[in-house]
Structure 1
Amino acid sequence: MIIAEKTKIVEVVPYDPEWKVEFNRIRDQLLSYVGDLIITIEHVGSTSIEGLAAKPIIDLDLVMDSYDVLPQIIERLQQHGYEHQGNLGIEGREAFKRRQADEFMNYHLYVCPKDGKGYLEHIAFRNYLRSNESALQAYAEVKQRLAVQYRYDIDAYCEGKAAFVTSILSKTMN
């Protein structure tokens, strides 16, 4: 998996309720830029799952109806300091990077079509862990073990999580 910004040190920390607050702040800012062009903004990734230890980076999916509006979204986000990075090897997910600092904690921004595989997998995985305590605990253990083992290698950390993520998606993406 290729992520939008390379993490230099893999750090998994206990769940922080402030992540939900921070997501709302980032979401509100993004809505002011592109709210008329999208369906919704979803908080995905580990910070969106209450009780789950995570890297303290918010993942946001801006959900569009279709690729027809992507050029307008790219233009608007560029006007507000974002660089379009393409799909980074994952079909159905367009990544954006902040070109300048803002007042928010670190976050990864993706634009996805409502029927895109990347978006649907993010939601399925998030919702499964939110409703399955044993899977949540198992994933937390995997993440914490890998964060220690691959503290300076985000690619190996992500590859190490892949089997667990795939096993959950095989249950939820029928």
Structure 2
Amino acid sequence: MVNKTKEVRIVPYDPAWKIAFESMRAELERHIGDLVLAIEHVGSTSVEGLGAKPILDIDVVMDSYEVFPAIVERLGKAGFRHEGNLGVEGREAFKRTYEDGFMAYHLYVCPKDGRGYLEHIAFRDYLRAHPAARERYQRLKEDLAAEFRYDRDTYCERKTGFVRGILNKTLYKD
């Protein structure tokens, strides 16, 4: 289903994103810190200098699915609803059931060896280390946002080739 209701808006990098993530990490650590290995800031807002949709992407990393029921229970008590994997194996989405005062974010719980998590980290780290790739990605996102302003699905689909190219250089290299 095409999501044409939300505008794709790329804004310049904002150092406040890092601060917002740290606040969200502290909130999550209060509830599940003893159950998880890490809480990672991923996605474009995690790459200094890269413009992005102003939405944090957060990967909570667990050792295995053995701890997942306890994570679901605790996050539920903290006001998060488990939404399933939303079609991506190895990544469980959660959404706050009330307005919590944090900037917009996507929250995922992933196993440490999960494809979604490993791809997020590989892509993030490559863009952090390669300014020319970061600039190319910035231009691509701006061009796609202008062309598909009200079609978030197509905007995302059209970035796939670039992302796959980076992952083939890093995570999936021979």
Establish whether TM, by shorter chain, passes 0.5. Answer: yes
SS of structure 1 residue aligned to 2:110? strand
User: How far, CA to CA, are the matches of 1:6 and 1:49 in structure 2?
Assistant: 27
Unaligned 5+ runs, structure 2: none
Contact 2:40 2:58 in 1 (8 A): yes
Give the alignment partner of residue 114 of structure 1, picking from 112, 115, 118: 112
Would you say how many aligned residue pairs link Structure 1 and Structure 2?
A: 171
Give the alignment partner of residue 85 of structure 1, picking from 83, 87, 92: 83
User: How far, CA to CA, are the matches of 1:125 and 1:7 in structure 2?
Assistant: 28
Q: Which amino acid aligns with 2:117?
A: Y
Contact 2:7 2:150 in 1 (8 A): yes
User: How far, CA to CA, are the matches of 1:7 and 1:62 in structure 2?
Assistant: 28
SS of structure 1 residue aligned to 2:9? coil
User: How far, CA to CA, are the matches of 2:91 and 2:132 in structure 1?
Assistant: 29
Deviations 1:96-149 (A, max 9, x none): 111100110000000000011100000000000000011000000010111111
TM-score norm. by structure 1 comes to 0.95
Q: CA deviation at 1:6?
A: 8.9
1:165 aligned residue: 163
User: How far, CA to CA, are the matches of 1:85 and 1:116 in structure 2?
Assistant: 18
Identity of matched residues, %: 60
Alignment root-mean-square deviation, CA: 1.5
Unaligned 5+ runs, structure 1: none
User: How far, CA to CA, are the matches of 1:46 and 1:116 in structure 2?
Assistant: 20
Q: Which amino acid aligns with 1:91?
A: E
User: How far, CA to CA, are the matches of 1:153 and 1:81 in structure 2?
Assistant: 30
Pairing of 1:6-17 with structure 2 (within 5 A) = 8-17=6-15
Contact 2:4 2:150 in 1 (8 A): no
Deviates more, 1:83-92 or 1:42-51: 83-92
Q: Which runs of 4+ in 1 moved over 2 A?
A: none
User: How far, CA to CA, are the matches of 1:59 and 1:118 in structure 2?
Assistant: 12
SS of structure 1 residue aligned to 2:94? strand
2:73 aligned residue: 75
